[in-house]
Structure 1
Amino acid sequence: MRGLLLRLSALDSDAASAVRVISFFDALVAQHAGLERLVASTAQLAECPAGLAVPETGVWLRVDAEGASLAAAPPPSVSRELDGGGRVWLERDGGPLPLDEIVLERFAIAAAVLLGETRSRLSGLDDPALVELIVSASAGDAERSRALHLLGFSPLTPIRVLAVGSGPLPEPPGPQAAIGRQHAVLVPAETIVPIGHTIGIGPVLPAMRAPESWRAATVAVRFAAPGVVDAMRWDDLGALGPIAQQIKVAEIGDIPDVQALDRLAAEAGGPDTLDVLTAVAATDSVRKAATLVHRHHSSVAARLARAETSIGYAVDSPAGRFRLTLALALRRLRDSA
């Protein structure tokens, strides 16, 4: 099929070229290509972004000329309505090419046929199965957009994905599903995150990009410290988030500052001392740290002094606080793997 027709701009506006366009789309239908492939192939053929939207079922696809998915509202474009509702479109920067009309016509016909093949694919899934599909990086855009529709989300709705590491939320603010050892929760961007649970909070993204928010949330939850820092936002990790996605967990234990914390944890009362250090790193004063761990500030100050002797540096300077914060974060990253 690629040999049959590679670029619309290379064709003349004659009957033979129109037949080649028709054959191009007929081949996609005959191969039961799937909606993602149909839209991507059309965009590559037309050498401009192409899209498909069916509001009734929630299917929404938009692909650029290179075949990459786009998760943003399309600009004004020429379109063709589908029988039964919905539309397909091309986003041509300049004026239309001579064969654009027949491309849109055959694009619409092929979309209607392939929509009929996929219309019932998600009908038997419950909410957790739909959530799992939405955050899966291997799911197709057509299935993801339909699943979002079934859960009441538009593909372009700004959402966050939460990664809950302390078991399912008893009253989740959105649809929830168990994925491995964690639970994924889909929430609108402005949702207030429940307190008292270990949660990683993914970045705000269009709902079609939920897998990216979920992946970021699963990294963020590994930096949470239950009882001290329950919820961790990906946005607050800054450069540490991407670093965490690249670093090899097995190498973290070789870092001297992490080894110093490991030695401290092995001492009598070590876990409590680490809680104090975590609170100190998360606040800007000993008194605030004491409140966070429910200790008297003098007790926290004394424990902090002993900890500084053990780890070999003071934490009351910007450099010392950063060094402690990084070592604690890396240790949590390692231990949560």
Structure 2
Amino acid sequence: MEALAVRLSGLDSYAEGAIRVVAFYDTLMRRRVDLPALARASAGLAGCVAGIRLHGTGRAIRVSPDGKEAATPPVPASTTAPVTLDEEEIGAVWLERPDPPVPLDDVVLERLALAVAAVVERYGPARTTMADPALVELVISSDGDEAARARALRLLGFAADLPVHVLAVRSPVPLDQVGGLVCPARPVKAAELADGGVILATTVDRAARFPAGVRAGIGTADNPPRSWRQARTALRFTTPRRPVVHYDGLGALALLAQVPPDTARDNADVTAIARIAGNPDDLETLDAYCATGSLRRAADLLHLHHSSVARRLDQIGKALGIDITEPAGLIRAALALTAWRLLDD
């Protein structure tokens, strides 16, 4: 091997430098360094700020050539490379060189990306690694037996004593990124199935901020097949104003999901909602009022004066044939609005 290296190094300075870079990272991996150490070593080698980011955590490690955390604001990367594990992009590495890239920058980032993937794999599976859809389907299927389900969970990396929440998700962003935000510190797996996006998570952070445009229904953790049914039901109750719904927060409202569509369409209140739905302003006003139960809070949500909202609500109430300013009328309108929305799912 040394003889080969000597022969290659004689070809040109780039080949010699590339071999030295490979040897440099091989040494780091033998020492079993962590991600911050990889960033420090890379910054020192490249002579500029080096960065590492894992999509699951969203946190970036940026280190200056002096080995300290970069204090300067991030600048556009001069060179970047994806970090892949099991054919999934789990992050990125980059260099922030103020001048144009130098010839060996691509080699440095290639070896850094490989080293980062090795570190992630060594210290545990990527928390947001996309899972085998067949295994996920086996976990949530009501047709499978418990032994097969337990084996599938084990293969996915879930311990036998850990609860598992199932999330039904509609997302314009990759599911693994959503999973990392929902459950940042414990195992989480995601897969795209015919019925939509599925995330399995041991915990669900109720304070988690889902990316814009994501809709999610979250089931309880008592039983995966039941949790999946609950999650899909909860997803039907999501709205632009309420994009994430926990099934256990629906209470008796979940019963509306069991109403046959024809029965809902024949209801006079639901029919009245369908009539006003052609006016987006009326629909948005009614939604805000039903969500808050207060004229002034609805006005705040709509960024309108409360007198304008009052006039709209008066017209809406007449169109519905319901006095929505009364508690009973407000309940009727809210139930009818929810039932009408469920017809679209």
Encode CA deviations 1:184-226: one digit per residue, 9 max, x unaligned: 1112234234434211121232xxx111011011111111112
- Deviation at residue 243 of structure 1 after TM alignment: 4.5
Which residue number in structure 1 is paired with residue 254 of structure 2?
241
Which residue number in structure 2 is paired with residue 180 of structure 1?
194
Distance 1:327 1:219 in 2: 17
Deviates more, 1:209-218 or 1:303-312: 303-312
- Deviation at residue 272 of structure 1 after TM alignment: 2.6
Distance 1:229 1:182 in 2: 19
Which residue number in structure 2 is paired with residue 137 of structure 1?
142
Deviates more, 1:163-172 or 1:304-313: 163-172
Distance 2:320 2:228 in 1: 35
Distance 2:270 2:287 in 1: 13
Distance 1:216 1:272, change over 3 A: same
Letter in 2 for 1:150: L
Which residue number in structure 2 is paired with residue 122 of structure 1?
none
Distance 2:302 2:198 in 1: 28
Letter in 1 for 2:138: L
Distance 1:162 1:126 in 2: 14
Deviates more, 1:304-313 or 1:170-179: 170-179
Distance 1:318 1:184, change over 3 A: same
Matched, 1:213 2:227: yes
Distance 1:291 1:221, change over 3 A: farther
- Deviation at residue 293 of structure 1 after TM alignment: 4.0
Encode CA deviations 1:76-117: one digit per residue, 9 max, x unaligned: xxxxxxxxxxxxxxxxxxxxxxxxxxxxxxxxxxxxxxxxxx
Distance 1:250 1:148, change over 3 A: same
Letter in 2 for 1:199: A
Within the candidate set 197, 200, 219, 2:217 is matched to 200
- Deviation at residue 181 of structure 1 after TM alignment: 4.7
Within the candidate set 264, 269, 276, 1:257 is matched to 269
2:164 and 2:221 in contact (8 A); partners too: yes
Which residue number in structure 2 is paired with residue 148 of structure 1?
153
Distance 1:318 1:180, change over 3 A: farther
Within the candidate set 281, 304, 317, 2:313 is matched to 304
Which residue number in structure 1 is paired with residue 177 of structure 2?
171
Distance 2:195 2:319 in 1: 34
TM-score, normalised with respect to structure 1? 0.55
Which residue number in structure 2 is paired with residue 189 of structure 1?
203
Distance 1:169 1:308, change over 3 A: farther
- Deviation at residue 289 of structure 1 after TM alignment: 2.3
Runs (5+) with no aligned partner, structure 1: 1-124
Encode CA deviations 1:257-280: one digit per residue, 9 max, x unaligned: 0000011113xxx12321221121
Distance 1:264 1:141, change over 3 A: same
Which residue number in structure 1 is paired with residue 3 of structure 2?
none
Letter in 1 for 2:248: D
Matches within 5 A, 1:71-110: none
1:127 and 1:175 in contact (8 A); partners too: no
2:131 and 2:191 in contact (8 A); partners too: no
Q: Aligned residues, how many?
A: 204
Percent identical residues: 41
Computed over aligned residues only, the root mean square deviation of the Cα atoms, in angstroms, reads 2.3
Within the candidate set 148, 154, 162, 1:157 is matched to 162
Name the SS of the counterpart of 1:147 in structure 2: helix
Distance 2:131 2:201 in 1: 17
Which residue number in structure 1 is paired with residue 326 of structure 2?
317
Distance 1:211 1:259, change over 3 A: same
Which residue number in structure 1 is paired with residue 296 of structure 2?
287
- Deviation at residue 290 of structure 1 after TM alignment: 3.2
Which residue number in structure 1 is paired with residue 132 of structure 2?
127
Letter in 1 for 2:334: T
Which residue number in structure 1 is paired with residue 12 of structure 2?
none
Distance 2:335 2:136 in 1: 33
Name the SS of the counterpart of 1:330 in structure 2: helix
Name the SS of the counterpart of 1:335 in structure 2: coil
- Deviation at residue 318 of structure 1 after TM alignment: 2.2
Distance 2:228 2:306 in 1: 38
Distance 2:138 2:300 in 1: 42
Distance 1:302 1:239, change over 3 A: same
1:131 and 1:177 in contact (8 A); partners too: yes
TM-score, normalised with respect to structure 2? 0.54
Which residue number in structure 2 is paired with residue 34 of structure 1?
none
- Deviation at residue 126 of structure 1 after TM alignment: 4.3
1:128 and 1:175 in contact (8 A); partners too: no
